[in-house]
Amino acid sequence: MRHYEYAPIFFQSFEKQKMKLISMIPQGWKVLVWTSAVHMDPEIYPNPKEFLLSIWNDFIPKAGAFLPFSTGSSTCPRADLAKLEVTIFLHYFLLNYKLVQLNPGGPVNYFPSLDPADNCLAKIIKIR
Ligand code: HEM
């Protein structure tokens, strides 16, 4: 397995849609965008730890502010297929099932991506 050296390279927030690099990237290094940090940035998403569906009402993301499929040369090549699949899945799932999370409010991992620590253990109940 190849090991990479990681060092934090901080960006100022997306204030005025501009990212300003405030430290130097050594030659030959790879740079990863930590998308969780973008999606948890309170300057973009007020109260990012709260589940507020209403934030999506009329939401027009600023450049670089919404990166579920990453960006740049490693953008997910099947983002459109994935969105279609998720839409179809949710349609049937929400009409027919109820999901009851076993550990609501449990611990969340923020690195490398946002995940419930228990992998979202839940009971799935058929409602019709
Ligand atoms: C909701 C579903 C999905 C999400 C959130 C997602 C997200 C992502 C993200 C963030 C990356 C970039 C990873 C990186 O920066 O290294 C990626 C890459 C990739 N995704 Fe997806 N993806 C999804 C579904 C899919 C599906 C359905 C396929 C194929 C049918 C797919 C195929 C790929 C491939 C091949 C790459 C690597 C692209 C490359 O490195 O050139 N993804 N995806």
Rounded to two decimals, the ipTM of the complex is 0.97
**Same-domain pairing of 5 and 67:** yes
Q: What residue's CA is closest to ligand 1, atom 37?
A: 76
Task: Single out the residue in 75, 91, 118 at which a domain terminates.
Answer: 75
What predicted TM-score, i.e. pTM, was given to this entire model?
Answer: 0.76
pLDDT digits (tens, 9 = 90+) for 4-45: 444 444 444 444 444 555 567 888 888 777 888 888 899 889
28, 70: one domain: yes
What are the binding residues for heme? 76
> What spacing in Å lies between the alpha carbon of 49 and ligand 1's midpoint?
24
Look at 40 and 113; give whichever has higher pLDDT.
Answer: 40
d(CA 107, CA 12): 27
- Please tell me the total count of domains within the chain: 2
Please tell me the distance between residue 88's alpha carbon and the centre of ligand 1 in angstroms: 18
Range of the domain at 83: 78-128
Asked whether 68 and 35 are in contact (CB, 8 A), the reply is yes
Residue 77 C-beta-side C-alpha neighbours within 13 Å: 2
For ligand 1, atom 40: residue with the closest CA: 74
Whose C-alpha lies nearest to ligand 1, atom 27? 82
